Amino acid sequence: MPSDNSLLRLPGGAIVMEGLRDVAARRETIAAALVQLARARFVRAGLWPDSALDTLPDPELRLYRLLRTSGGDAYSRYNSLVRELVSFGQAWDGRPS
């Protein structure tokens, strides 16, 4: 697994690192639900924590429900977080090996 610093330098890296840590610790958080949307991609990239349980069903719905319970505009926050996840994935794919 790459160092935390190399991941944090990528767009969306902070929320992805938080989510991966939360998944490893089996915490159900907004960040954990977000990274579970891209579980297959993280597994292929070697980023998915070995200690993580299988992804629970419907991570999209779980993320949205968590956002709704935390207050604010869940729809806008959901879209913003997904854009961050996509930006991270694009930056990950484009990084020098």
How is residue 77 written in tokens? 């926050």
Residues of the chain predicted below pLDDT 70: 1-3, 53-55, 97
CA distance 44 to 36: 13
Spatial contact of 82 and 56, defined as CB atoms under 8 Å apart? no
Provide the pLDDT for residue 97: 61
Q: Could you tell me which of 42, 40, 44, 21 has the C-alpha nearest to residue 31?
A: 21
Provide the pLDDT for residue 55: 62
- Model-level pTM? 0.88
Provide the pLDDT for residue 89: 94
Provide the pLDDT for residue 2: 61
Provide the pLDDT for residue 96: 73
Q: Is 14 exposed, middle or buried (0-12, 13-18, 19+ CB in 10 A)?
A: middle
Provide the pLDDT for residue 95: 78
**DSSP secondary-structure letter at 26?**
T
Provide the pLDDT for residue 1: 53
For the stretch 66-85, pLDDT in tens is 999 998 899 999 999 999 99
Provide the pLDDT for residue 11: 95
